[in-house]
Amino acid sequence: MTSRRTPRRTAVAMLLIIGGCSGPAVKSDPLEVYQTPPKRTAREMDYWNNRTDLFKNPSVQPAQALTPPTLQRFQLKNKLSVLLIPDHRLPLVDVQLLIRTGAIDERPLPAGLAEFTAQMLRQGTRRMTADQISSAVDTAGAGLSIESDYEVTSIHCRARSKSLALCLQIVADLVIGPTFPAQEMGQIRDRLLSGVKTMRDDPETLAAVHFDAMLYGDDHPAGRTMTEQSVRRIRREDLVRFHREYFRPSAAILGVSGDIEPAKLNQAIRTAFHRWPQEPGRGRLRFDPVLDPPKGLRVLLVDKPDLSQSFFSMGHAGITRTARDRDAVSVLNYILGGGGFSSRLMQVVRSKGGKTYGINSHFYRAAADGSFVVQSFTRNDQLVATLDLARHELRRVQGTPPTKVELEAAQGKIAGGFPIRLKTAAAMTQKLMQAQLWGLPDSEVFDFPLRIQRLTTSDLLQATQHIHPDHLVAAVVGKASEVAPLLRRAEIPFTQIDYLAPISTRERAALKQPPTVAITPQELKAARKVLERALEVAGGRKRLAAIRALQLTGDATVEAKGQSQGGTFNARIMLPDHMRLGIALKAGIAVVQVLAGTRAWIQVGPQRKDLPAAVVARWKAMVWREPVLLPLHALDPGVRARITTLAGVPASRVAVELFPQDLPSATLIIERRTGHLVEVRHVDRTGQTRVSELSQHRKVNGVLVPHRVTATSDGRKQSVEYKQVEINPRLKVEDITG
């Protein structure tokens, strides 16, 4: 849904943006606002109070309709609409194609499909390979960009006038004949994955994404988010099908603007686009707009312990793109929270309340279901107070509706500024195309300033019906240990999850309760027999039960993509829940992971990062699975087990699945002849199987220790070879926590 900042605002995107400008290194908006705001004291304002020589606003001139540019419209036989707007001021042309499809059409296929499909368009067509397309575009000095949004996908080619034919041909080719080469999928997938990766670390985006999920639910396309899992599940045939079903000329508009001769273009466009087949229309799925609005305020608290500030997205359902009172709603929103410094939310929450440097509200429009969102951030200990102030303003907008003064200021900005915002013919063209896409006439654009000008305070009062201060959902990303007590004290109902948890409620629930596996007493007995032998071979119950601590030191090797790096490894374990793992690669920096009872953190060089409760739980499971101790733990009371057949496990080995209470399941592979534990497998939170191979078993103080442990996942292999193993070394808590 468009209420989220797309995860594409990634580290890569930022570097590309920085790289793209040879301009100043800092481009900051002085009107942008940050964490703790300046509270204007009365004393400061004394300097200006009661003065008569202050500058006054010049009088605002009445808004005018825009002068429509010369334009031409026609439609091809395949129902593709075309809009032409000439502008000969510069030898530039823009070819823009808007198609009415996007994430909204993805279901039931994985989230991310629309964007994957869009990005793959230029990776190969029937006429040209990806490199040929890039070469043709770059050689002409043209620019080609493709964007995929919730409801609209766009392709834009900008070039000098003499390359117009090239732009037309390439845009047509991309939309009509993409071939989705399998070998190109990896690069696009990587790009999408890097975006998803950084999304988790961006609290503002994370809050917005969770807000959408809360508001719309798992079954609504606007409630879904691209994740690593969903991207990985997308297959080539999904891309082909999505393109075939949704990239249709009847759902598209082609806009060509700039240094063009419309009379000559007619034929060129028909030639380029007539081959675009007209598929029979598919009805769009109908779904409930949003979940039943909750009474009061319902909060999802997303724990990210390294944050000193909480970011929130709070709101409810909004309006559609064609709502009758959409203009009044725009102006109302400007006054409430869209108009920067002068907005009510900003005044109250920032200037008077001192809670934040930035708060804004927005009505995100969609063809069917929009949303209304208030977004801000504040110190963790101010979160509830800030939510309260914001809610109060939402209530007040109905009790104390916008005044004439507020209305005029808004009209001045919105109506007065509109003409100068459409800076180029391309911008004007795009605006008209968008209006047409939603079935609105050109006057939607040309008469906009006049319509804004004609609004009255009673129009705005009517529009306040779209604000629902008593039916709100909010997603808060912050430090739960500080925020949760405040929510409890304020008696605001909330659910708490960690920032790495799945966005979808259904997936979260599934993780919590894995399906119970039925195991017969016979199966359990047979499995335990195998495990008892392994325990004997490992040194016996008495010896293993006497282990309170372990220290393992050795060499580490990391292999990925054919490259190998070496370093050292050190692990200290104090049962049951203290562990320190350190790995230092020769060419890299030292990384230390610490589990200390109820806390966990990772240290990279001097930087320490606290980790949430879910990680604590996972690392406790890791201690439980420590190979030296696992033969003992596998026989803990309450651990169910069964022998299982697994592909790839030879007859000389037996696989035993373990189902401990309150811990993730694991599979042990035991060598029949020796009784050695040779492999441990488990499924991680992203659904991937992690494998640890154990070898070089040798006894230390009568306890069997595999001296070589190799862990593989995701094409990456990490091996540790122990040089020193101490059983029950003298360790203090400080040896773990550092």
Q: Which of residues 335-364 bind other proteins (CB under 8 A)?
A: 339-342, 357
Among 18, 263, 509, 733, binds other proteins (CB under 8 A): 18
**Nearest in space to 718 (alpha carbons), one of 568, 559, 552:** 559
Give DSSP secondary structure letters for 106-172: -TTSPTTHHHHHHHHGGGBBSS-BHHHHHHHHHHTT-EEEEEE-SS-EEEEEEEEGGGHHHHHHHHH
Is 651 one of the binding residues for other proteins (CB under 8 A)?
no
Name 594's bridge partners. 580, 601
- Which H or E run includes 427? helix 425-437
Instruction: Describe the crossing of helices 113-120 and 182-199 by its angle, rounded to 10 degrees.
Output: 130
What minimum distance in Å lies between the beta carbon of 288 and other proteins? 35
Among positions 284-343, residues that touch other proteins (CB under 8 A) are 339-342
Q: Is 416 left (phi over 0), alpha (psi -120 to 50) or beta?
A: alpha
Residue 164 backbone phi and psi in degrees, to 5: -55, -45
Among 90, 511, 517, 546, which residue sits at the site for other proteins (rule: CB under 8 A)?
A: 90
Which residue type is seen at 301? Answer: L
Enumerate residues 6+ apart whose C-beta is below 8 A from 30. none
Q: Are β-strands 640-644 and 143-148 bridged in parallel, bridged antiparallel, or unpaired? A: unpaired
Distance CA 311, CA 380 (A): 9
DSSP letter assigned to residue 306: T
The reply to whether 82 sits near other proteins by the rule CB under 8 A is no
| Cβ-Cβ contacts under 8 Å for 73 (sequence gap 6 or more) | 81, 82, 83, 84
Residue 310: CB minimum distance to other proteins, A:
14
Closest to other proteins by CB, 89 vs 286, is 89
- If binding is defined by CB under 8 A, does position 615 make contact with other proteins? yes
Specify the DSSP element, H or E, that contains 698. strand 689-700
Tell which one of 54, 518, 647, 651 touches other proteins (CB under 8 A).
54
- In terms of C-beta density within 10 A (0-12 exposed, 13-18 middle, 19 or more buried), how is residue 592 classed? middle
Q: Which is nearer to other proteins, 262 or 289 (CB)?
A: 262
φ, ψ of residue 387 to 5 degrees: the values are -60, -40
The reply to whether 450 sits near other proteins by the rule CB under 8 A is no
Q: Is the peptide bond before 91 cis (omega within 30 degrees of 0)?
A: no
Nearer to other proteins, 116 or 273 (CB): 116
Q: Is 36 in the site for other proteins (CB under 8 A)?
A: yes
Of positions 268, 492, 519, 585, contacts other proteins by CB under 8 A: 585
User: Is 583 one of the binding residues for other proteins (CB under 8 A)?
Assistant: yes
Rule CB under 8 A: is residue 121 a binding residue for other proteins? no
Going by C-alpha positions, the residue among 406, 396, 403 that lies closest to residue 348 is 396
Q: Taking the complex as a whole, how short is the minimal distance between the CB of residue 506 and other proteins, in angstroms?
A: 24
Q: Is residue 26 a contact residue for other proteins (CB under 8 A)? A: yes
Residue 620 CB, nearest distance to other proteins (Å)?
Answer: 10
**Sole binder of other proteins in the list 267, 513, 520, 563 (CB under 8 A):** 563
71 touches other proteins by CB under 8 A: no
546 sits near other proteins (criterion: CB under 8 A) = no
Segment contacting other proteins (CB under 8 A): 260-268, 423-431, 533-541, 727-735? 423-431
Stretch that binds other proteins, among 9-17, 168-176, 517-525, 645-653 (CB under 8 A): 9-17
Query: Do the Cβ atoms of 733 and 572 come closer than 8 Å?
Result: no
Q: How far is CA 66 from the centre of its chain?
A: 38
Applying CB under 8 A, does 578 fall inside the site for other proteins? no
Tell me the backbone φ, ψ of residue 317, rounded to 5 degrees: -65, 155
Per-position x/- string for 374-403, each x denoting binding to other proteins as judged by CB under 8 A, each - no binding: ------------------------------
Measured on CA atoms in the order 460, 463, 468, 472, is the torsion positive or negative? Answer: negative
- The verdict on 534 binding other proteins (CB under 8 A) reads no
| Contacting residue, 34, 75, 646, 652, with other proteins by CB under 8 A | 34
Min. distance of Cβ 495 from other proteins in angstroms? 24
Q: Does 549 bind other proteins (CB under 8 A)?
A: no
Which own/partner contact pairs does 686-689 have at CB distance under 8 Å and 24+ positions apart? 686/228, 686/229, 687/229, 688/713, 688/714, 689/713
How far from 103 is each of 110, 370, 692, CA to CA, in Å? 10, 14, 38
Of 143 and 281, CB closest to other proteins: 143
Cα-flanking dihedrals φ and ψ of residue 595, to 5°? -115, 120
Which residues, numbered 693-722, are part of the site for other proteins (CB under 8 A)?
A: 709, 711, 713-716, 718, 720
Choose one: 131-139, 462-470, 536-544, 651-659; the region binding other proteins (CB under 8 A). 131-139
Please tell me whether residue 158 binds other proteins under the rule CB under 8 A: yes
The reply on whether position 247 binds other proteins by CB under 8 A is: no
637 lies in the binding site for other proteins (CB under 8 A) = no
Q: Output the six-digit token pair for 628.
A: 């030296």
> Could you give the residue ranges of the DSSP H alpha helices within 298-424?
326-333, 344-345, 383-399, 404-421
Q: Is 717 exposed, middle or buried (0-12, 13-18, 19+ CB in 10 A)?
A: middle
Residue 418 touches other proteins, criterion: CB under 8 A: yes
Instruction: Name the packing angle between helices 326-333 and 404-421 (round to 10°).
Output: 110
Residue 737: CB partners within 8 Å, gap ≥ 6? 580, 594, 596
Q: Retrieve residue 399's tokens.
A: 């009790």
Nearer to other proteins, 210 or 466 (CB): 210
Q: Closer CB to other proteins, residue 177 or residue 416?
A: 416
Q: How far apart are CA 667 and CA 671, in angstroms?
A: 13
Q: Which amino acid is at 620?
A: K
Q: Does 183 bind other proteins (CB under 8 A)?
A: no
Q: Does 42 bind other proteins (CB under 8 A)?
A: no
The footprint of other proteins on residues 616-635 (CB under 8 A) is: 618-619, 621-622, 624-627, 630
Within positions 136 to 155, which residues make up the interface with other proteins, using CB under 8 A?
A: 137-143
Yes or no: say if 2 and 150 are a contact pair by the CB < 8 Å rule: yes
Give the whole-angstrom CA distance, residue 178 versus residue 395: 51
Q: If binding is defined by CB under 8 A, does position 182 make contact with other proteins?
A: no
Shorter beta-carbon distance to other proteins: residue 211 or 722: 722
What angle is formed at CA 444 by the lines to CA 441 and CA 445, rounded to 5 degrees? 115
If residue 518 lies in a helix (H) or strand (E), which one and from where to where? none
Identify which range of 70-78, 408-416, 455-463, 480-488 contacts other proteins by CB under 8 A: 408-416
Instruction: Tell me: does residue 263 bind other proteins (CB under 8 A).
Output: no
Indicate whether 50 belongs to the interface with other proteins (CB under 8 A): no
Q: Which of 213, 331, 384, 415 binds other proteins (CB under 8 A)?
A: 415
Contacting range for other proteins; rule: CB under 8 A; set: 201-209, 246-254, 504-512, 519-527: 201-209
Q: Does 120 bind other proteins (CB under 8 A)?
A: no
Among 492, 526, 591, 613, binds other proteins (CB under 8 A): 591
Q: Does 731 bind other proteins (CB under 8 A)?
A: no
**Does 404 participate in binding other proteins (rule CB under 8 A)?**
no
Contacts of other proteins in 463-522 (CB under 8 A)? none
Bond before 108 cis per omega within 30 degrees: yes
Would you say 521 or 562 has its CB closer to other proteins? 562
Stretch that binds other proteins, among 113-121, 126-134, 380-388, 392-400 (CB under 8 A): 126-134
Please report how close the Cβ of residue 170 comes to other proteins at its closest, in angstroms: 13
Q: Which of residues 162-181 bind other proteins (CB under 8 A)?
A: 162
Compute how many residues bind other proteins; rule: CB under 8 A: 144
Asked if 74 interacts with other proteins (CB under 8 A), we say no
Residue (295 or 586) nearer to other proteins, CB: 586
Q: Which of 208, 209, 558, 574 binds other proteins (CB under 8 A)?
A: 558
